[in-house]
Amino acid sequence: MAQPSSATTPKVVDIHTHMYPPFYVDILSSRSTIPLVLNFPSSPNPRLILLEAEVPSLAGAESSATARPPGRPLTKHYSSLDQKIHFMDTHHIDISVISLANPWLDFLSPTESGPAAESVNAEFSSMCAAHPGRLYFFGALPLTAPLATVQAAVTRLTTLPYCRGVILGTSGLGKGLDDPALLPVLEALAAAGLTVFLHPHYGLPNEVWGPRAAAEYGHVLPLALGFPMETTIAVARMYLAGVFDAVPALRMILAHSGGTLPFLAGRIESCVRHDGQLVGEGKVAAGRRTVWDVLRSQVYLDAVIYSEVGLKAAIEASGGADRLMFGTDHPFFPPVGGSEGDEDGEWESVALNAEAVTKALGEGSEEATGVMGANAVRVLKLYGK
């Protein structure tokens, strides 16, 4: 990876990097249902429990999994700005576009979420202002609040100098991203030039992982498969609902290289063309925009896919490397095996994704430097305020 910024060295930009600012941790710590933060005597750090799948079910309670506290350690990496800057310096990252981590504000009541969004976005703004030129952010939306509150939040984000978009889960206003009621929000975001960073949280129903998963497979299945599958389903639903056509100015970055969209785009397209109902209803007319068209015009992908195979497919599905953007998914996937405080060095999870870029595109190539940072600088206008 490139050295920290200078006038001549290409910038390294991390567009997939999360924080739970202190205000948000306070919210999680006050809760008694997931998502929440809990203290356990056996754990040096509080535990952050985000997913139902992270809590061993009663069915698996006799297994060894119950000897471990649930969730993951809430280390300083999650909420400390100094730690974020340290992480960036350690990995030679010049600029980070930080975002609230899942599940964002989706669990708050309609009256809570508006003020919470205001506070969180103000906190992110202050963080960026404390390190001008090194930090930008994707804001959070109060999606459980009335539509007027959501739209006011979008307007407010346009006044925050370091905001470059919003992070969005797949539930939208509660009925998914193909919900017609969400269209005014997407239109407002598109009109404001705010990019939507689509990120999973809800995964798939636990039953699909089978009876052994909760006790025996750690968090692997919901994280490795549930997350990317959720993203793919959300985008496919948007495509089938015509959202990309309805909001042509909408621009989205899909987390985890689009979930599985690059690999499945051909199958989606074939299933659309061969669907008796869609063909019969005239929805597969000549000139319609295919999944490939959307991937190559309105969608960007991060490069968080942990393999050369996946990254190459993401690049080819996107019609070129100029729609891909490096990310780390920090503070998730810290090194394991050492003690919980032993996370100040280089992270293998970061190296895996950086190495995939080098392997797929050649070290220092124009395409590689594009994915590592130049694409993000260009697309998200990461200069000045």
| Residue 119, CA distances (Å) to 31, 124, 188, 191, 369 in order | 18, 9, 21, 24, 35
Q: Which of 200, 310, 370, 373 binds a second copy (CB under 8 A)?
A: 310
Contact 357, 12 (CB under 8 A): no
Which residues within the stretch 327-366 sit at the binding site for a second copy (CB under 8 A)?
Answer: 333-337, 348-349, 352, 356
Of 108 and 235, CB closest to a second copy:
235
Q: Given the complex with a second copy, which of 192 and 225 has the nearer CB atom?
A: 225
Among 80, 263, 358, 365, binds a second copy (CB under 8 A): 263
Evaluate whether 45 touches 73 at the Cβ level (below 8 Å).
Answer: yes
Structural contact between residues 53 and 135, judged by C-beta atoms closer than 8 angstroms: no
The nearer residue to a second copy, 10 or 172, going by C-beta atoms, is 172
In 3-state terms, what secondary structure has residue 77?
helix
Nearest alpha carbon to residue 304 among 347, 254, 352, 256: 256
Q: Please name every residue paired with 168 in a beta bridge, in sequence order, or none if there are none.
A: 198
| CB 326 within 8 Å of CB 13 | yes
DSSP element (H, E) containing 28: helix 22-29
Spatial separation of the C-alpha atoms in residues 247 and 44, rounded to whole Å:
48
Nearer to a second copy, 283 or 381 (CB): 283
* Residue 257: closest CA among 295, 215, 222, 284: 295
> In terms of CB distance, is 371 or 374 closer to a second copy?
371
Residue 47 beta carbon to a second copy: minimum distance, rounded to whole angstroms:
11
Nearest to 99 by CA among 219, 188, 196, 172: 196
Per CB under 8 A, the list member of 176, 183, 192, 296 interacting with a second copy is 176
Q: Between residue 17 and residue 56, which ones bind a second copy under the rule CB under 8 A?
A: none
Interface residue with a second copy among 118, 275, 293, 322 (CB under 8 A) is 275
The residue (of 194 and 368) whose beta carbon lies closer to a second copy is 368
The answer to whether 75 touches 340, Cβ cutoff 8 Å, is yes
Residue 225 interacts with a second copy (CB under 8 A): yes or no = yes
Stretch that binds a second copy, among 147-155, 182-190, 263-271, 376-384 (CB under 8 A): 263-271
**Residues 60-119 close enough to bind a second copy by CB under 8 A:** 64-65, 68, 72
Task: Burial-class residue 59 by CB neighbours within 10 Å (0-12, 13-18, 19+).
Answer: exposed
Position 173 contacts a second copy (CB under 8 A)? no
By CB under 8 A, name the one of 31, 274, 378, 385 that touches a second copy.
Answer: 274
Instruction: Choose between 7 and 67: whose C-beta lies nearer to a second copy.
Output: 67
Is residue 228 a contact residue for a second copy (CB under 8 A)? yes
> What is the token pair recorded at 384?
């000045």
| Alpha carbon distance 143, 105 (integer Å) | 7
Could you tell me the smallest distance in angstroms from the CB atom of residue 103 to a second copy? 17
Q: Which stretch binds a second copy (CB under 8 A): 33-41, 130-138, 155-163, 212-220?
A: 212-220
Applying CB under 8 A, which of residues 59, 147, 246, 279 lies at the interface with a second copy? 279
Q: How many helices (H) and strands (E) does the chain have?
A: 16, 11
Q: How many CA atoms lie within 13 A of 260 on its CB side?
A: 13
Minimum CB separation of residue 200 from a second copy in Å reads: 12
Nearer to a second copy, 273 or 378 (CB): 273
Check residue 191 for interaction with a second copy (CB under 8 A): no
In the complex with a second copy, the residue whose CB is nearer, 82 or 207, is 207
